[in-house]
């Protein structure tokens, strides 16, 4: 009876170990099994255990699959975006949930939170070398006055709607590999890395315009970096992933055109832009003298001396 007890105990332990966890167990036991039935009950079991990551199945992100996506998401009180983030979905208007945002990242299940997307994005912007306000200022020098993409290095996020005063959804073009227009639904089917798909309810014209804007901002940043690195006689090697995203392919396209702006021109524009903002704050946007002051200030920068006179 005692022998049966120990034998059953070991079998039950081994059975539970295999069925409770996601792991592979390889049993290595001595060839002589008589010790398992000894009076002392001595047993020598050894297990080689390795944990395996279950791959995330490709997700289809649409309004109709939202309930399923919420059910499989993990709740977080504060979400930090990273280089694997490819979509931040604003769901404040969804009545059947207490959550306000879902964040999608490569290699992990979605994250849901009660935080607004605006809070999440502002936290992300504050950690980047260039915040969104600076990128918007650079974008305005290129004529992008609304829905400016956020381009910081190799990370590119585009707002679905105007994001100046409220929360909105953001899609990451740095992980977008392709996009196909759905003319009947007036939408775009965007294909991300790892097979994830997103249905964007924007026109093909609007989507392609944002790709072009992102390419120009990325190209401008790259040229500024090359000029700065060149001052130290170093060479900068652009970083490309194994499969180029749609912005990288656009920059390399033979039809891509962008105006090269020297660093001095860019700095002058940013200086004038900041000064104009200060003038509007101090004097008021409707002040009758503000245009004259703007013109004098712009001319003083345009014709400033490039060297000191004795």
Q: E strands, the chain, where? A: 23-28, 46-51, 60-61, 74-75, 85-90, 101-105, 111-113, 150-152, 155-159, 170-172, 176-182, 187-192, 197-200
Point out the least confidently predicted range of 77-91, 183-197, 270-284. 270-284
Sorted by where each begins, the domain ranges of the chain are: 2-51, 60-252, 263-302
Q: Is the pLDDT of residue 201 over 60?
A: yes
* pLDDT tier at 203, thresholds 50, 70, 90: very high
Task: For the chain, give the number of residues.
Answer: 310
- What does the CA dihedral 272, 273, 276, 280 come to, rounded to 10 degrees? -170
For 234, the 3-state DSSP assignment is: coil
* pLDDT tier at 148, thresholds 50, 70, 90: very high
pLDDT digits (tens, 9 = 90+) for 104-140: 999 999 999 999 999 999 999 999 988 898 899 888 8
pLDDT digits (tens, 9 = 90+) for 246-286: 888 888 876 777 766 666 666 666 677 677 777 777 877 77
Which residue did the predictor score with more confidence, 211 or 153? 211
Point out the least confidently predicted range of 17-21, 96-100, 118-122, 239-243. 17-21
């Amino acid at each position: 009876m005692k022998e049966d007890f120990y034998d059953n105990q070991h079998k039950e332990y081994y059975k539970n170990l295999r069925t409770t966890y996601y792991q592979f167990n390889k049993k290595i036991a001595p060839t002589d099994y008589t010790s398992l039935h000894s009076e002392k009950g001595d047993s020598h079991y050894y297990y080689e255990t390795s944990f395996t990551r279950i791959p995330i199945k490709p997700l289809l992100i649409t309004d109709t699959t939202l309930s399923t996506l919420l059910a499989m998401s993990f709740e977080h009180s504060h979400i930090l975006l990273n280089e694997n983030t490819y979509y931040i979905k604003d769901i404040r208007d969804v009545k059947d949930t207490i959550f306000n945002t879902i964040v999608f990242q490569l290699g992990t299940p979605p994250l849901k939170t009660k935080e607004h997307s605006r809070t999440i994005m502002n936290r992300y912007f504050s950690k980047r070398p260039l915040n969104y306000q600076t990128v918007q200022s650079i974008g305005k020098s290129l004529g992008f006055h609304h829905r400016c993409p956020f381009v910081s290095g190799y990370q590119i996020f585009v707002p679905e709607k105007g994001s100046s005063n409220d929360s909105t959804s953001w899609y990451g073009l740095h992980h977008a590999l392709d996009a196909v227009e759905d003319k009947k639904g007036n939408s775009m089917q965007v294909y991300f890395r790892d097979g994830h798909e997103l249905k964007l309810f924007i026109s093909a014209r609007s989507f392609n315009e944002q790709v072009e804007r992102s390419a120009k901002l990325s190209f401008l940043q790259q040229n500024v970096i090359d000029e700065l690195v060149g001052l130290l006689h170093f060479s900068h090697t652009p970083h490309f992933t194994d499969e180029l995203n749609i912005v990288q392919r656009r920059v390399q396209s033979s039809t891509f055109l962008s105006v090269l702006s020297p660093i001095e021109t860019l700095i002058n524009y940013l200086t004038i832009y900041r000064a104009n903002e200060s003038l509007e704050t101090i004097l008021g946007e409707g002040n009758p003298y503000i245009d004259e002051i703007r013109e004098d200030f712009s001319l003083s920068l345009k014709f400033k001396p490039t060297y000191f006179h004795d």
